[in-house]
Amino acid sequence: MKPVPSQTDYKAIIISLFAAITFWIMNALNKEGYSQKISFPIHFTYNDSLYIPLQPLPERISVNVSGNGWNLLRKSFSFYKTPIQYAINKPLSTKFLNTGMLTDSITEYIHDVRVNYVVADRFELEFDKKITKEFTLKVDSINIPLKERYVVSSLINLNPKKITINGPESVLNEMDETILLKVPGKKIKDNFDDEITLPFAKNKLLKSNRDKVNVSFEVEELLK
């Protein structure tokens, strides 16, 4: 009958197994040829007083790197806070990210590993000229949501009557020079005096000198 291993024997086996695994991992990490995807913050520099991107620019860029296991392990646990600088000198003619230039910048940014290629969700860039244009505001008086038998009984006051919008030239040139404002609510029966949010207020490409305008008018019931 074989003897049952003691508790000391089990401890010895576990220690030996742990030591073997540790040795194997350390030996493996010392080898070359491993690859890893690492993410870096990126900041685009261009003349933002003259040009505007039509799509949000990437805030991070990923690259595939290779090298020693230990170096890759350290890189994967590193938190890169300083962004890689990517200069766009001619925004209107720059249609794609230059992966070669990015690779060179990242190579200078990190050490001990080899940068293989850039990994990105998209490489396309699209810029437009940034201009400022004036627009006239007008209330959509035909579609004011009044209660039945009620009418607008005064002039419709609008303040201001004109606004300026800053944004991409192509977008602003497609907009009608008169912006029609819809009065919110339903079954209005009382005099109206409130601020109306401009229809493009949430458009990140457009910036106006005003997000809201004041609209007021009087309402009366028709006599039977």
Please check whether residue 89 lies inside any domain of the structure: yes
Please check whether residue 76 lies inside any domain of the structure: yes
- Report residue 68 as tokens: 């020693």
Same domain, 77 and 41: yes
Beta bridge mates, 196: 213
Please check whether residue 61 lies inside any domain of the structure: yes
User: What percentage of the chain carries pLDDT values higher than 90?
Assistant: 43
Q: Is pLDDT larger for residue 201 or for residue 93?
A: 93
Q: Which of 119, 145, 162 finishes a domain?
A: 119
- Specify whether the CB–CB gap between 191 and 218 falls below 8 A: yes
**With bands split at pLDDT 50, 70 and 90, how would you rate the model's confidence at 160?**
very high
Quote the domain boundaries for residue 65: 31-119
Tell me the pLDDT tens digit for each residue of 61-79: 888 877 665 555 565 555 5
Same domain, 180 and 113: no
Total domain count, the chain: 2
Please check whether residue 22 lies inside any domain of the structure: no
Same domain, 113 and 36: yes
Same domain, 144 and 214: yes
**With bands split at pLDDT 50, 70 and 90, how would you rate the model's confidence at 165?**
very high
- Report residue 126 as tokens: 């699209």
